């Protein structure tokens, strides 16, 4: 049976990769993998953000109508548990600290796991740092949780000295070590490498910290911007912050390249199924917003990179424009290794028939939204419809003619709206209880008070 290597890069925008048309950010290693893979142009998550996406990834089931930011449930049957039944040795290596917070059991079913500590607001170290926070903030950040995020991040990274000490490097190094230790001892194997970068804070090592930045910039180092409207930043500050994110992308690419080179050198490339994807993107001032807000349902957040390198490089170079979703990953993996019957009752569908050209499509639309919001986006290859709660205006965009989603056509195409509204109705009418915000209560006291507004009341 084939080995399985699943690589996830958190918050990686599709349009920041050369293989998806970017011409100013260096991503040679991911681009090389794309050239050897089947690349999906219209791949999407479903329930956002981080943990709901990973629940869908692990189980092949939708989360938007019945799950929130929560652990795996006792009823979940996960990728690692299924593969264990077929004698796979499995390992999870990640610095995505949300996955290993108290009560979060996303390592369930793995034979080995390694948690790299210290990302973002991970309650890792309490030792004071020597950073001057005033160099990293503006007055608008004072009194916000982002000050606490930044302070905790600097505590976590106070002892960092060289590139190898950065989280992405640690994750990849640990993954390579696991491969060296386990290669040949027992096969097949399943390795999930989950890298939190390029998630904020955007603090890449040299030379990536200045690679895309204006050398004359003298403003604050806004590595942890506010979530929400971007009007508090000057054009120069925004450009600098975007350059930091681009540097993170290139930094991640370098280390993913090292992992892929090690896989090649160990002779594992041709007998392995390799998947690379992100959980979602983020906004860098697009539509007037920074990062992710629960009502921001546009392509910069929703469209994700997805490439699948089949064993022996089969179908390499093929581009697929049909819709794909996170829930399709597990059924695809099982189909490739000849265990497709295991996905019979999953919401997701194998992408393998689509890759082979046996079928034209596996779905005619995808539905997306944040678990903590009532807003939903339903889209196909041509249209994106955003259904808003309360008295807010709904939105409709023609993705082919208006890929940046600037012109709202909701009043011009009522037939399209009615069709997409009908498809989304069953999603909208299902409500779930909300829980405390991102469980950051385990990291920084006081960060979760009054996080959620009262749920919107839907009017029929």
**Which tens digits make up the pLDDT trace of 101-149?**
988 999 999 999 999 999 999 999 999 999 999 999 999 999 888 999 9
Q: Where in the chain is the domain with CATH 3.30.1120.10?
A: 374-429
**Domain at 3-366: CATH code:** 3.40.720.10
What is the percentage of the chain residues whose pLDDT exceeds 90?
86
68: helix, strand or coil: coil
Say which residue the tokens 């796991």 belong to.
Answer: 113
Q: Do the strands 228-229 and 289-291 form a parallel or antiparallel pair, or are they unpaired?
A: antiparallel
- CB-based burial label for 458 (10 Å; 0-12, 13-18, 19+): exposed
Architecture of domain 374-429: 2-Layer Sandwich (3.30)
* pLDDT reported for residue 102: 86
| Stretch 149-176: mean pLDDT | 97
| Stretch 209-218: mean pLDDT | 98
113: helix, strand or coil: strand
283: helix, strand or coil: strand
* pLDDT reported for residue 42: 98
Average pLDDT for the chain: 93
Angle 317-322-328 (CA atoms, 0-180°, nearest 5)? 90
* pLDDT reported for residue 438: 53
Q: In what order do the strands lie in the sheet with 47-48?
A: 47-48, 366-370, 376-379, 383-387, 395-398
List b or e across 169-181, with b for residues whose CB sees 16 or more CB atoms inside 10 angstroms. Answer: bbbbbbbbebbee
Q: Where in the chain is the domain with CATH 3.40.720.10?
A: 3-366
**Euclidean distance between CA atoms 105 and 102, whole angstroms:** 8
């Amino acid at each position: 049976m084939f080995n399985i290597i699943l690589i996830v890069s958190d918050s990686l925008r599709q349009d920041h990769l050369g293989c998806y048309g970017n011409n100013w950010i260096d991503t040679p290693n991911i681009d090389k993998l794309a050239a050897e893979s089947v690349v999906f142009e219209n791949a999407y998550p479903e329930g956002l953000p981080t943990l709901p996406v990973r629940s869908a990834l692990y189980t092949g089931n939708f989360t938007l109508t019945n799950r929130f930011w929560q652990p795996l449930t006792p009823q979940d049957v996960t990728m690692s548990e299924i593969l264990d039944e077929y004698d796979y040795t499995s390992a999870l290596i990640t610095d995505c600290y949300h996955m290993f917070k108290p009560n979060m059991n996303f390592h369930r079913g793995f034979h080995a796991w390694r948690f790299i500590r210290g990302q973002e607001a991970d309650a890792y170290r309490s030792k004071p740092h020597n950073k001057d926070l005033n160099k990293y903030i503006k007055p608008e950040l004072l009194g916000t949780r982002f000050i606490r995020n930044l302070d905790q991040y600097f505590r976590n990274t106070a002892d960092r000295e060289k590139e190898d000490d950065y989280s992405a490097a640690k994750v990849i190094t640990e993954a390579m070590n696991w491969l060296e230790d386990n290669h040949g001892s027992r096969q097949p194997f399943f390795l999930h490498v989950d890298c939190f970068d390029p998630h904020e804070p955007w603090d890449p090592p040299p030379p990536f910290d200045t690679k895309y930045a204006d050398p004359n910039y003298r403003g604050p180092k806004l590595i942890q911007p506010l979530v929400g409207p971007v009007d508090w930043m000057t054009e120069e500050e925004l450009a600098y912050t975007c350059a930091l994110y681009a540097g993170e992308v290139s930094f991640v690419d370098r280390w993913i390249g090292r992992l892929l080179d090690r896989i090649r050198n160990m002779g594992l490339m041709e007998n392995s199924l390799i998947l690379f994807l992100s959980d979602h993107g983020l906004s860098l001032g697009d539509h007037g917003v920074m990062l992710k807000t629960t009502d921001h349902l546009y392509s910069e957040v929703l469209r994700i990179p997805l490439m699948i390198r089949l064993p022996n490089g089969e179908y390499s170079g093929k581009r697929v424009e049909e819709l794909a979703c996170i829930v399709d990953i597990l059924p695809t993996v099982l189909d490739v290794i000849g265990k497709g019957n295991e996905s019979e009752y999953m919401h997701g569908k194998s992408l393998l028939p689509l890759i082979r050209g046996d079928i034209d499509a596996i779905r005619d639309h995808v539905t997306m939204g944040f678990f903590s919001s009532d807003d939903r986006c339903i889209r196909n290859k041509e249209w994106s419809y955003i259904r808003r709660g309360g008295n807010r205006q709904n939105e409709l965009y023609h993705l082919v003619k208006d890929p940046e989603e600037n012109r709202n056509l909701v009043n011009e195409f009522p037939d399209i709206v009615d069709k997409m509204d009908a498809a989304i109705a069953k999603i909208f009418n299902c409500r779930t209880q909300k829980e405390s915000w991102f469980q950051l209560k385990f990291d920084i006291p006081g960060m979760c008070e009054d996080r959620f507004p009262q749920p919107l009341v839907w009017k029929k």
